[in-house]
Amino acid sequence: MVGLGNPGTEFVGTRHNAGAEVVRALAERHQGRLKAEKGLRSQVCAVRIGDHPALLAVPQTFMNESGQAVAPLVRRAGIDRPSHPGQSRPASASAPGLANRLIVVHDELDLPSGRVRVKSGGGNAGNNGLKSIESHLHTNDYLRVRIGIGKPPGRQAGADHVLRRPGAAERTLLAVAIQQAADAVEAIIADGLEAAMNRINATD
């Protein structure tokens, strides 16, 4: 499970780092400690979520270069091709465990601030982190937990909007959304994609 963002203290608390905050919340919930691992351009930790092993990761590349971190993470986790619950595999292939699924958590301009949605595959909606991941993995076949940050106000550029820290009211909304997104990841792992989508996507 990968939470996207930008490294460095100057980006802490910005809208673009919402995905990374979800990973940190999950690590705290499950007594994990994120730390650098040789050969990976990420902070990682292995935890158990229920009965399932999970590798949590926060890339230490900039958002636009997320694929440079996700590609070695996929190899580290033993994922040849990202798959999702319900995807069939040849009988000769080893049965995929939940550790062999890729979940990417990221901010989403096309959702109202504070709204959380679960999605499988699809377009990248202009998110440069997703573009980079798809470029390196040569697929968009992975699960996504999307955290709404809303459209920029007025004529503000999208890049400026995502790199700003929200005001107090929006910050409260996003704090709730980060916990809800962590719940969504746990639901995917515990109950599968469809159940998680039915539960999370039905909320306002």
Q: Return the active site residues.
A: 16
Q: How far is CA 186 from CA 54, 65, 192, in A?
A: 10, 26, 9
Closest to 161 measured CA to CA, from 148, 152, 172, 170:
152
**Six-digit token string for 116:** 């959380």
Report CA Rg, the chain: 16
User: What is the number of other CB atoms lying within 10 angstroms of the CB of residue 152?
Assistant: 16
The rounded distance, in Å, linking the Cα atoms of 64 and 111 is 20
Q: Give the bridge partners for 143, in sequence order.
A: 103, 120
> Tokens in use for 78?
């033993």
Angle made by CA atoms 25, 131, 89, in degrees to the nearest 5:
80
| CA–centroid distance for 114 within its chain | 15
Decide: 190 and 50 in contact? Cβ < 8 Å. Answer: yes
Phi, psi dihedrals of residue 110, rounded to the nearest 5°: -80, 0
